[in-house]
Chains A and B, each alone.
Chain A
Amino acid sequence: MMNLSALVHSLRCSLLRIESRLLQISGLDSQLAPALAVNGPSLLPQIDQDPQQDEEQSPEQTPGLQDSILWMAAPKKRRTIEVNRTRRRAERKLIKVKTNIEPCPECGHLKQKHILCGFCYAKICKETGLIRQQIKEMEGGPLRAPPVETVVLYDGETPSEQDGGKRIVERPRKRPAWFRN
Chain B
Amino acid sequence: MRLTLQMLISHGRVARRIGLGPESRINMLRNILTGLVRHERIETTKVRADEVRFYAEKLIDYAKKGDTDGKAMKMASFWLTEKDLVPKLFKVLAPRFENHSTGYTRMARIPNRENLDRAQMAVLEYKGNPFPPLYPVKKENELTLINQLLKGYREERARARVLAAEA
Question: CB within 8 Å of B: which residues of A?
Answer: 105-106, 114-116, 118, 120-121, 124, 127-128, 131-132, 143-152, 169, 176, 178-180
Measured between alpha carbons, how far is A88 from B68 in the docked complex, in Å?
68
Question: CB within 8 Å of A: which residues of B?
Answer: 38-39, 41, 82-85, 87-88, 90-92, 96, 108-111, 123, 130-134, 136-139
Closest Cβ–Cβ distance, residue B75 to chain A (whole Å): 18
Question: Do A143 and B84 touch across chains, with their CB atoms under 8 A apart?
Answer: yes
Q: Which chain A residue has the least Cβ–Cβ distance from B83?
A: A143
Measured between alpha carbons, how far is A116 from B43 in the docked complex, in Å?
13
Measured between alpha carbons, how far is A144 from B87 in the docked complex, in Å?
11
Closest Cβ–Cβ distance, residue A170 to chain B (whole Å): 12
Question: Do A127 and B132 touch across chains, with their CB atoms under 8 A apart?
Answer: yes
Question: Do B92 and A169 touch across chains, with their CB atoms under 8 A apart?
Answer: no
Measured between alpha carbons, how far is A127 from B137 in the docked complex, in Å?
17
Question: Do A145 and B88 touch across chains, with their CB atoms under 8 A apart?
Answer: yes
Closest Cβ–Cβ distance, residue B77 to chain A (whole Å): 15
Question: Do B110 and A128 touch across chains, with their CB atoms under 8 A apart?
Answer: no
Question: Do B131 and A145 touch across chains, with their CB atoms under 8 A apart?
Answer: no
Question: Do A178 and B136 touch across chains, with their CB atoms under 8 A apart?
Answer: yes
- 21 A-B pairs within 8 Å (CB atoms) are namely A114-B109, A116-B134, A121-B123, A121-B134, A124-B131, A124-B132, A124-B134, A127-B132, A131-B130, A145-B82, A147-B87, A148-B92, A149-B92, A149-B130, A150-B130, A151-B130, A152-B131, A169-B130, A178-B136, A180-B136, A180-B139
Closest Cβ–Cβ distance, residue A174 to chain B (whole Å): 14
Question: Do B110 and A118 touch across chains, with their CB atoms under 8 A apart?
Answer: yes
Measured between alpha carbons, how far is A169 from B131 in the docked complex, in Å?
11
Measured between alpha carbons, how far is A48 from B133 in the docked complex, in Å?
86
* B contact residues around A149 at 8 Å (CB): 92, 96, 130
Q: Which chain A residue has the least Cβ–Cβ distance from B120?
A: A115
Question: Do B132 and A178 touch across chains, with their CB atoms under 8 A apart?
Answer: yes
Question: Do B92 and A131 touch across chains, with their CB atoms under 8 A apart?
Answer: no
Q: Which chain B residue has the least Cβ–Cβ distance from A126?
A: B132
Question: Do A180 and B110 touch across chains, with their CB atoms under 8 A apart?
Answer: no
Measured between alpha carbons, how far is A149 from B109 in the docked complex, in Å?
26
Closest Cβ–Cβ distance, residue B89 to chain A (whole Å): 9
Measured between alpha carbons, how far is A120 from B134 in the docked complex, in Å?
9
Given A145-B84, A147-B91, A149-B96, the answer on whether A118 and B134 have CB atoms closer than 8 Å is no
